[in-house]
Structure 1
Amino acid sequence: MFRLCCKRPQFQLVPNWAYSSIHLSFVLQNTSLFSKSFSSVEVVAHDREKQTKQHSFTVSYFINSCGLSPEIAASLSKKVAFETSEKPDSVLRLLRKNGFTDAHISKLVKKKPKLLVGRLEETLLPKLEFFHSVGISGTDLANVLSSKPSILCHRLEKQIIPNYNFLKSLVSNNEKIVNVWKRATYLHDVQKRVVPNISALKGIGMTQSGISALVTSNPCVLCGSSEKIDKSVKKVIDMGFNPSTSAFIGALVAVTTMTENSWEQKLKVYRSWGWSENDFLLAFRSCPRCMILSVENINTKMDFFVNKMGWQPSAVARTSVALTLSLEKRIIPRYRVFRVLLLNDLIKKKFGLSYVLNSSEKVFADNFLSKYQEQVPQLFDIYQGKIDLSELGIGF
């Protein structure tokens, strides 16, 4: 028989008073840690509560005072927030005093919400006063600043005033300056980009009136790099344009504002409708805007001219300005009248459909509507689309 001997473990009992001492010592040693932790939690909680109140107040203000939708207001509140209405109210009062309507304010705030919390007396007020001093105020001022509120972020002495003086030297009146500002805010960097580009254009023979027309109609062209301008000018001249003509401006705008890929894509579309290289050059020289149209627009109009009106593709190229006209408002209504008059043997083909489409509204009304009203009493209704050609048994 084996005897199993197991030595029982010995435990040292700790008296209750000792446990109390250990616990008290731990608490005393970590009092500052607990205090700091609870303090940090309180600060974070307070900041979150403050941010929540700011967010809620800002959203409500954007909705109720600026006329913005809840979705836009919530989005803008991530960019700017405020707890009271004192500063934004003073900004809105100043804007309304300067001719801004509720629609102007909504448009401006949506684009530049931080203007509501800007320094009113130091930044916003002096700029508005300058615009007033040069005769730009009321609706004109509200229109330009709500369209391009970033102008208010430019420096008055170093950007806005020199910009205005530069434009004043190129265009004749404030109305045109306002239109330029609405189209391009990048003109604030005139000395670095615009002035050198203008000098280059003058150097190739572009007239002062041509440059003024370019500034007024498409100021963004002059804001590009000198390398881009040089490349575009060479391409336009190689296509046979004379820099001293207005057609050169249209061609330069078309080439400059379009990427190489977009240009090639539109060329491909015109080729698919049967245009040769000569057809394209003829069309582009006649009306450079034919290349500014979208691919969908080109296809829709070429389909109507070729498949419904029966024009040859080369005939469209010779009258390329027709491609820039509105299909619904001009081309189809006038073609309906032309078709009816032709089938009634009231006009001869020698008139040419291009003449019908390109005539002014008054010339068209005098020569094709009023003139034949007695012979075709329904002519005005046909023109206005109240009577469809199919009702008269006439097809395209």
Structure 2
Amino acid sequence: MLAAVGRRRLLLLPPLPLRFLSAAASTTTTADPTVVSYLISSCGLTPAAAARTAATAPWVPLASPDFTSNADAVLALLRRYGFTDADISATVRGLSRILTSDPVRTLQPKLDFLHSVGITGPLLPRVVSLSPIILHRSVESHLAPLIASLREVLGSDSRIVAAIRLMPFAMRCSPKSTFLRTLPVLRDVHGLTPGELSKLVARQPGVILLGPDRAGEIVQAVKDAGVEPGSPMFVYIFAAFSKLKAPKLENKFAIYRSLGFGKDEVAVMLRRFPNVTGISEEKLKNTVGFLIGKAGLSREDIVAYPNLFSRSLDSHARRCAVLAVLRREGKPEGQHRVPHVLVASFARFMKAYVRQYEREVPDVLRAINGELPFEGFGELEKKKPQRQEKIRR
């Protein structure tokens, strides 16, 4: 009889997914109008974001009687540490319960600790707003060990600050679960020296977020590119590769192959300019098309000067336009090799190719300002071999 009753009750229950949805709906609170208004007026949240924040976190007592006074104290504390309205809005969106935290006992010790390390000024609000959870992490068990580990690798607080400026997300890293597992593997298994590890973390702090297996994959990828640990360029190429997942890195190499560069040529470019893997597909294709199609360079020129990719297409076009003007006027600088001209620093380029001729040849100013479009060296390039032929005779 009891079994029959049980079966009848089961038949009356809604399907399992609907039961879970019903339970979830019953635990969702209604947004308190006072809290929503506060989040909009004091924290800069949009009405939609404020409603979600106030309604979807029932375990946070946002609507408690002393909510407003506590939240005011939290915001006042953040502003004392340089948080702007935008910083506060981002922080609250990322961690709404910060408004109910004890500003003196919970939040200030973390802010004071970060400040003592040198994370001050605009960097402090940036670090917190991107990872507000760190204000709810213990100084003793999280922040202090993390900074101590970074100090051991980087050597000084100033280098720690520089690294965190590059990768503020590193502050949420757990030293035990990632940092202290990956770096020893790079040192003991793959042979990186303490100096190389220091340089690597300083250049790409995100490596401390890598797992040991992923770090090993990147080491192998760098070796496959023809660069072994101990090479002066190993750290730089490792840092560049660590920014891309394996499929995306392989896709990048495929793009270079589609543009006519062989594996060995890509390896040479990597050793000379590791960031060749950081160039977007569109920029790669447009730049190679311009340099070969209009500027008359060969692929060998690009392999020899891969930092050509560090300049914008507009910069290349303006410099080539200046060079075309100088060639037209028969100036000796106009015969300088195009790759040398394109990779020169802006100050050196302006001094050598523009300033000394701006009165005599005003078109160089028009060219560098983008008023004379570059259409190619054209007939000037065709005449150059003829002049050389005459000289040989």
Structure 1 length-normalised TM: 0.77
Larger radius of gyration: 1
In 1, the alpha carbon distance for the partners of 2:240 and 2:42 equals 42
Contact 1:198 1:222 in 2 (8 A): yes
Go from structure 1 to structure 2 and tell me whether the alpha carbon gap of 1:342 and 1:64 turns closer, same or farther (over 3 Å shift).
same
Contact 1:336 1:383 in 2 (8 A): yes
Per-residue deviation, 1:349: 6.9
Matched, 1:200 2:185: yes
Give CA-to-partner distance per residue, 1:43-73, whole Å, 9 cap, x none: xxxxx9x954x43222222221112233333
Per-residue deviation, 1:91: 0.7
Aligned to 1:216: 202
Per-residue deviation, 1:246: 4.6
**Structural mapping, 1:88-107, within 5 Å:** 88-107=71-90
SS of equivalent residue, structure 1 residue 68: coil
Matched, 1:359 2:336: no
Aligned to 2:132: 149
Q: Which stretches in structure 2 are left out of the alignment for 5+ residues? A: 1-25, 382-393
SS of equivalent residue, structure 2 residue 361: coil
Q: Which amino acid aligns with 1:265?
A: N
Q: Which amino acid aligns with 2:47?
A: P
Alignment match of 1:370 (pick from 345, 355, 377): 355
In 2, the alpha carbon distance for the partners of 1:263 and 1:128 equals 38
Contact 1:144 1:179 in 2 (8 A): no
Alignment match of 1:307 (pick from 293, 297, 305): 293
Go from structure 1 to structure 2 and tell me whether the alpha carbon gap of 1:110 and 1:174 turns closer, same or farther (over 3 Å shift).
farther
Aligned to 2:389: none
In 1, the alpha carbon distance for the partners of 2:136 and 2:162 equals 19
Aligned to 2:3: none
Contact 1:151 1:185 in 2 (8 A): no
170-179 vs 262-271, greater mean Cα deviation: 170-179
In 1, the alpha carbon distance for the partners of 2:147 and 2:247 equals 36
In 1, the alpha carbon distance for the partners of 2:262 and 2:81 equals 56
Per-residue deviation, 1:179: 4.3
Identity of aligned residues (%): 27
In 2, the alpha carbon distance for the partners of 1:187 and 1:69 equals 27
Contact 1:63 1:69 in 2 (8 A): yes
Number of residue pairs the alignment of both structures matches = 345
**Structural mapping, 1:236-385, within 5 Å:** 236-328=222-314, 330-347=315-332, 351-385=336-370
**Structural mapping, 1:23-42, within 5 Å:** none
Contact 2:181 2:212 in 1 (8 A): yes
Aligned to 1:23: none
Matched, 1:133 2:116: yes
Q: Which stretches in structure 1 are left out of the alignment for 5+ residues? A: 1-47
Matched, 1:82 2:59: no
Per-residue deviation, 1:361: 2.0
CA RMSD of aligned residues (A): 3.0
SS of equivalent residue, structure 2 residue 332: coil
SS of equivalent residue, structure 1 residue 373: coil
Go from structure 1 to structure 2 and tell me whether the alpha carbon gap of 1:170 and 1:60 turns closer, same or farther (over 3 Å shift).
same
SS of equivalent residue, structure 1 residue 122: helix
